[in-house]
């Protein structure tokens, strides 16, 4: 067997984890050389982002055309949004609970941090009205996810309602969706190289500093992310999706590693769609709707972090935490997480909306953001993992309810597909 054949014979998830370990080792041994491999990470992220908009537009529309009945859209969408609302609220609670137990904000020298002023967060009205774009092409160019999802749903429903006349377009959409997912498969073969470069550069930039300067906060983020994935998501998988938990997580490991490397739910979307179909047995009619929607509103990691960082801030400023304050943080944190853009560090810029609700002045919020921002890249990478896990967990649960889950993939065969 040639070296190239040996390489491709190794399951992709093992290659990715090996690249992750090598990237960490490279960053610690030779950090000044990491800039020489940065181009691989940049190319990988650009390739993924290139696919996000066409995949969201085409696969949602194509998935709707396979439903056969427009009435099914309401039930599927309602269950999806309801589950995401549940996991988001639980994630905020997890973040608050972990911060209350570990108390990472006590004694933090925020006075030495350089303030980082924040812009005004969008109002609920602006978020709501922005769902309907005034210019479809502009929404596609900007990657406005909620607007693209809205257009894709209309396109799919319109194709269904057109009946026989819409059948050629439905066939075209389904064929294009298949082709796009094949392209994702090609891009995924570059994942080990992209992960190696991204991890090496992130750790070389400030990896050690995270544990020296914000060690307790970093520990709280890791614990909160682990609790959300291993407890909350596992319970949903066991009792709602009725899937073997260990096999499920083994099946989505490619998506989780890409989420960690890119720190972006949006960039993880193409890989998540592929593993949903190939490794989990979720039907395209379900994952093509739930996963893009999850990339926009399914922010478990962000919600956990907003809850945690809010408590961190209150502890740092010596603010007494009453039941009313807990309730305000929970409510505003969940709402803020729903409106956060799926890009790196976006959750920091939603913090002002939560802290202002509990009486923290903008100047104080700027100090918190100024303290955390220099180290936020690795923290953001960590908390993107529960967001990616939530999206696939919700997709599996909805697929179970819709009768669109192939149990032979995870539940009926001891041999899990080795490649995404």
Mean pLDDT along residues 261-274: 86
Whether residue 415 lies inside any domain: the answer is no
What per-residue confidence (pLDDT) applies to 198?
86
Whether residue 1 lies inside any domain: the answer is no
Whether residue 50 lies inside any domain: the answer is yes
What per-residue confidence (pLDDT) applies to 169?
94
Which of the residue ranges 104-108, 223-227, 252-256, 318-322 has the most confident prediction, judged by mean pLDDT?
223-227
Decide if 291 contacts 393 (C-beta within 8 A).
Answer: no
Decide if 299 contacts 337 (C-beta within 8 A).
Answer: yes
Q: Per-residue DSSP letters for 85-122?
A: HHHHHHHHHHHHHHHHHH-TTTT--GGGSPP---PPPP
CATH number, domain of 271, equals 1.10.3860.10
Return mean pLDDT, the chain.
84
What per-residue confidence (pLDDT) applies to 51?
87
Question: Tokens in use for 21?
Answer: 């370990």
Helix, strand, coil distribution of the chain in percent, nearest 5: 80, 0, 20
Q: Residues for the chain: how many in total? A: 420
pTM of the model: 0.79
- The per-residue pLDDT for range 13-24, each reduced to its tens digit, is 788 888 888 988
What per-residue confidence (pLDDT) applies to 4?
83
Decide if 275 contacts 420 (C-beta within 8 A).
Answer: yes
- The per-residue pLDDT for range 120-145, each reduced to its tens digit, is 656 667 767 888 999 989 888 887 77
Is the pLDDT at 87 greater than 90? The verdict is yes
Least trusted range by pLDDT, from 31-45, 84-98, 115-129, 325-339: 115-129
Is the pLDDT at 223 greater than 50? The verdict is yes
Whether residue 57 lies inside any domain: the answer is yes
Least trusted range by pLDDT, from 29-38, 132-141, 312-321, 348-357: 348-357
Sorting pLDDT into bands at 50, 70 and 90, what band is 418? very low
Whether residue 2 lies inside any domain: the answer is no
- Reference 368, options 118, 12, 84, 191; nearest CA is 118
- The per-residue pLDDT for range 310-343, each reduced to its tens digit, is 999 999 888 888 898 899 889 888 877 765 655 5
Question: Tokens in use for 172?
Answer: 């075209």
**Angstrom distance (rounded) from CA 34 to CA 25:** 11
- The per-residue pLDDT for range 391-412, each reduced to its tens digit, is 999 999 999 998 899 988 886 4
Q: Hey, is 267 helix, strand or coil?
A: helix
- The per-residue pLDDT for range 138-192, each reduced to its tens digit, is 888 887 777 888 898 899 889 988 989 999 999 999 899 889 888 988 888 888 8
What per-residue confidence (pLDDT) applies to 117?
58
Is the pLDDT at 112 greater than 80? The verdict is no
What per-residue confidence (pLDDT) applies to 281?
93
Sorting pLDDT into bands at 50, 70 and 90, what band is 66? confident
What per-residue confidence (pLDDT) applies to 200?
87
Whether residue 116 lies inside any domain: the answer is yes
What per-residue confidence (pLDDT) applies to 289?
85
Whether residue 418 lies inside any domain: the answer is no
**More reliable by pLDDT, 212 or 255:** 255
Is the pLDDT at 111 greater than 70? The verdict is no
Number of domains within the chain: 1
Is the pLDDT at 199 greater than 80? The verdict is yes
Whether residue 153 lies inside any domain: the answer is yes
Q: Hey, is 343 helix, strand or coil?
A: coil
Query: In 77-207, at which residue ranges do the beta strands (DSSP E only) sit?
Result: none
Is the pLDDT at 299 greater than 80? The verdict is yes
Q: Which domain holds residue 319?
A: 11-410
What per-residue confidence (pLDDT) applies to 147?
86
- Reference 372, options 312, 295, 298, 289; nearest CA is 312
């Amino acid at each position: 067997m040639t070296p190239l054949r040996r390489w491709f014979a190794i399951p992709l998830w093992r290659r990715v984890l090996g690249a992750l370990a090598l990237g960490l080792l490279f960053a610690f041994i030779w950090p000044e050389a990491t800039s020489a491999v940065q181009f691989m990470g940049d190319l990988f992220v650009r390739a993924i982002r290139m696919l996000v908009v066409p995949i969201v537009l085409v696969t949602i529309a194509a998935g709707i055309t396979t439903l056969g009945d427009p009435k099914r859209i309401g039930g599927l969408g309602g269950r999806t949004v309801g589950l995401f609302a549940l996991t988001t609220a639980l994630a905020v609670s997890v973040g608050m609970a972990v911060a209350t137990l570990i108390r990472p904000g006590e004694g933090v020298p925020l006075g030495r941090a350089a303030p980082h002023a924040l812009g005004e967060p969008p109002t609920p009205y602006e978020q709501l009205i922005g769902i309907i774009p005034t210019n479809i092409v502009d929404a596609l160019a900007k990657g406005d996810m909620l607007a693209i999802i809205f257009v894709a749903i209309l396109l799919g429903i319109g194709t269904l309602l057109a009946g026989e006349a819409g059948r050629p377009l439905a066939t075209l959409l389904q064929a294009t969706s298949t082709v796009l997912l094949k392209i994702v498969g090609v891009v995924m073969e570059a994942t080990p190289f992209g992960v190696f470069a991204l991890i090496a550069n992130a750790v070389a930039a400030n990896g050690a500093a995270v544990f020296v300067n914000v060690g307790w906060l970093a520990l709280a983020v890791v614990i909160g992310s682990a609790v959300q994935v291993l407890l909350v998501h596992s319970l949903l998988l066991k009792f709602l999706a009725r899937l073997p938990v260990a096999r499920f997580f083994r099946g989505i490991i490619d998506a989780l590693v890409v989420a960690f490397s890119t720190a972006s739910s949006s960039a993880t979307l193409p890989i998540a769609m592929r593993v949903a179909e190939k490794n989990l047995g979720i039907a395209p009619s379900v994952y093509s709707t739930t996963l893009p929607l999850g990339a926009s509103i399914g922010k478990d990691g962000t919600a956990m972090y907003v809850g945690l960082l809010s408590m961190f801030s209150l502890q740092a400023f010596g603010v007494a935490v009453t039941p009313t304050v807990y309730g305000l943080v929970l409510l505003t944190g969940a709402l803020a997480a729903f409106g956060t853009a799926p890009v790196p560090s976006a959750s920091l810029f939603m913090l002002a909306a939560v802290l202002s609700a509990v009486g923290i002045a903008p100047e104080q919020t700027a100090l918190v953001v100024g303290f955390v921002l220099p180290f936020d890249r690795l923290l953001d990478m960590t908390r993107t993992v529960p967001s990616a896990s939530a999206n696939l967990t919700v997709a599996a649960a909805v697929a179970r309810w819709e009768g669109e889950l192939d149990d032979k993939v995870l539940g009926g065969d001891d041999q899990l597909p080795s490649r995404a």
